[in-house]
């Protein structure tokens, strides 16, 4: 991981880095069933488990795919983007959920895509097809997380500000510009979020969470929704990394153990059962001590210090990467990676890994082109994203789309679903190969 971490976010501790680099903000609660008849890689045995997820009726039946990069002169300033010389500013991190957001080296944040509840943080509720600045941050941001309807920034002083819905200010109101999260009780060092909840790791290794808690994903031993932070109870030790799934949360402890809590319908807690937990439970059967964790929809993955990847949970679209379609209640190894992984990002029924040579491989559901291999074929094993080459610094996944930071933070490319402009290319065209995000940095 050192190459990715040092090039993207030099000088920051791993706890502040990993939630943004290695997690996914999920956009919707249920998996997208539209196009479940998309071709599946037949190199794997047909042992698929039934998929009981809820169809996403917001996805059109007829989609347009275009492998070409849009002309910047035509689309670069679609809705007020500030394309042009960035004056040495680079991209440090991305967070993908309902909004797509990027953290810049000067501490500013830009967001684009859906803006129903003010989740772009620009003071409006108007969708954007290209990045625009989040206004009103109380200080420089050092890390981001994004959910379905909002986003949060960790500030350099340890404070947290959020915008959109589920902002943790005790009101339950939506906010179109950043507001401070209350009652944290200490300086935050890391953030991780699910679709409707957010968690912060504090400097003493404790965790506080807020938002939706119908499945116990806040980890306070209840299923009561919370408008402001509450403490996670029963953790086995100090936490250094946190990741939010759709209705679950996973924490990497400083001693190397992994604990998860919340919904467990598909085995996403990795404890060998399908019993939901309102408080932390240990992930069972990890083959190596994890160095990072990523969680999403209904599956999660861990990365070891040697670069091995293990995943568990929902697998009806091959998102576990073990060559099958069988759900896994405890971790199994991803097969056929082309090298040691530096980071892993679990997305909406797909997963991607950044390898030590700077290349990217992805696997899982590919109806929207989110694998990035130029097809819409679902993959049960990792395949390369050839258009990226070997110049990738960070990989980030959202709900049926993916983004990569390239060239030391000089640019970003995205691919997959684009119905709300979340790819940032100035269009609403779905892409099955990477295209450049305009007006960024």
DSSP 97-109: SSEEEEEETTS-E
- pLDDT digit string (tens) for 77-116? 222 233 334 579 999 999 999 999 999 999 999 999 999 9
Question: Whole-angstrom distance between the N-terminal and C-terminal Cα of the chain?
Answer: 23
Interatomic CA distance for residues 20 and 24, integer angstroms = 8
Which top CATH class is 2-436? mainly beta
Residue among 413, 410, 390, 392 at smallest CA distance from 401: 413
Residue with tokens 């970003």: 412
Rama region for 23: left / alpha / beta (φ>0; ψ in -120 to 50; rest): beta
pLDDT, residue 397, reads: 98
Residue among 172, 224, 228 at smallest CA distance from 198: 228
Residue with tokens 């979340």: 422
pLDDT, residue 86, reads: 55
- Give the CA distances from residue 170 to residues 15, 145, 186, 222, 410, in Å, rounded to whole numbers and listed in that order: 26, 19, 17, 18, 38
Interatomic CA distance for residues 292 and 14, integer angstroms = 9
pLDDT, residue 382, reads: 98
CB atoms within 10 A of CB 289: 14
Are 419 and 373 within 8 A, CB to CB? Answer: no
The backbone torsions φ and ψ at residue 200, rounded to the nearest 5 degrees and listed phi first, read -125, 130
pLDDT, residue 102, reads: 98
Interatomic CA distance for residues 77 and 366, integer angstroms = 29
Are 166 and 40 within 8 A, CB to CB? Answer: no
Domain borders along the chain are 2-436
Interatomic CA distance for residues 324 and 318, integer angstroms = 6
Identify whether 158 is preceded by a cis peptide bond (ω within 30 of 0). Answer: no
pLDDT, residue 320, reads: 98
pLDDT, residue 338, reads: 97
Task: Show the tokens assigned to 404.
Answer: 């990569």
Residue with tokens 């909004």: 99
Are 219 and 195 within 8 A, CB to CB? Answer: no
Residue with tokens 């939630």: 19
Interatomic CA distance for residues 246 and 84, integer angstroms = 36
Local mean pLDDT, 10-residue blocks, the chain (441 residues) = 36 36 36 41 38 36 44 29 58 97 98 98 98 98 97 98 98 98 98 97 98 98 98 98 97 97 98 98 95 96 97 98 98 98 96 97 98 98 95 96 97 98 98 98 96
User: DSSP characters for 346-388?
Assistant: E-SSEEEEEETTS-EEEEE--TTSTT-SSS--BEEEEEE-GGG
Give strand pairing partners of 378. 40
List, in sequence order, every beta strand (DSSP E) within 305-340: 309-313, 328-333
Residue among 114, 126, 193 at smallest CA distance from 153: 193
User: pTM (2 decimals)?
Assistant: 0.85
Are 119 and 142 within 8 A, CB to CB? Answer: no
Interatomic CA distance for residues 52 and 435, integer angstroms = 33
Q: Taking the mean position of all CA atoms in its chain, how far away is CA 215?
A: 20
pLDDT, residue 390, reads: 87
């Amino acid at each position: 991981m050192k190459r990715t971490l040092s090039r993207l976010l030099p000088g920051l501790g791993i706890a502040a880095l990993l939630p943004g680099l290695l997690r996914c903000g999920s956009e919707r609660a249920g998996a997208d069933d539209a196009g479940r008849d998309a071709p599946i890689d037949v190199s794997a045995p047909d042992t698929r488990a039934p998929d009981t997820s809820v169809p996403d009726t917001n996805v059109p039946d007829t989609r347009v795919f275009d492998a070409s990069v849009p002309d910047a002169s035509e689309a670069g300033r679609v809705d007020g983007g500030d394309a042009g010389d960035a004056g040495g500013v680079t991209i440090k991190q991305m967070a993908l959920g309902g909004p797509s957001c990027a953290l810049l080296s000067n501490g500013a944040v830009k967001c684009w895509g859906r803006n129903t509840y003010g989740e772009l943080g620009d003071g409006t509720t108007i969708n954007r097809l290209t990045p625009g600045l989040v206004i009103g941050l109380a200080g420089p941001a050092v890390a981001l997380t994004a959910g379905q309807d909002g986003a949060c920034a960790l500030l350099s002083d340890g404070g947290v500000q959020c915008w959109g819905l589920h902002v943790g200010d005790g009101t339950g109101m939506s906010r179109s510009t950043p507001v401070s999260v209350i009652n944290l009780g200490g300086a935050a060092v890391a953030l991780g979020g699910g679709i409707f909840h957010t968690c912060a790791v504090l400097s003493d290794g404790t965790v506080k969470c807020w938002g939706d808690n119908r499945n116990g994903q806040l980890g306070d031993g209840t299923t009561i929704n919370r408008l402001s932070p509450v403490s996670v109870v029963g953790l086995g030790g100090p936490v250094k990394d946190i990741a939010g799934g759709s209705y679950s949360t996973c924490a990497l402890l400083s001693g190397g153990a992994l604990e998860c809590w919340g919904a467990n319908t598909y085995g996403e807690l990795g404890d060998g059962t399908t019993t939901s937990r309102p408080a932390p439970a240990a992930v069972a059967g990890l083959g190596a001590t994890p160095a990072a964790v990523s969680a999403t929809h209904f599956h999660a993955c861990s990365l070891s210090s040697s670069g091995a990847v293990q995943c568990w949970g929902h697998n009806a679209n091959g998102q576990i990467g073990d060559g099958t379609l069988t759900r896994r209640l405890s971790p199994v190894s991803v097969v056929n990676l082309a090298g040691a992984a530096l980071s892993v990002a679990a997305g909406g029924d797909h997963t991607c890994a950044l390898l030590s040579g700077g290349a990217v491989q992805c696997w899982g559901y590919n109806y929207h082109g989110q694998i990035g291999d130029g097809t819409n074929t679902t993959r049960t094993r990792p395949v390369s994203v050839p258009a990226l080459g070997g110049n990738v610094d960070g990989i980030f996944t959202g709900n049926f789309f993916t983004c990569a930071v390239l060239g030391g933070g000089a640019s970003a490319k995205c691919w997959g679903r684009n119905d709300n402009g979340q790819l940032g290319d100035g269009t609403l065209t779905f892409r099955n190969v990477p295209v450049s995000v305009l007006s960024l940095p």
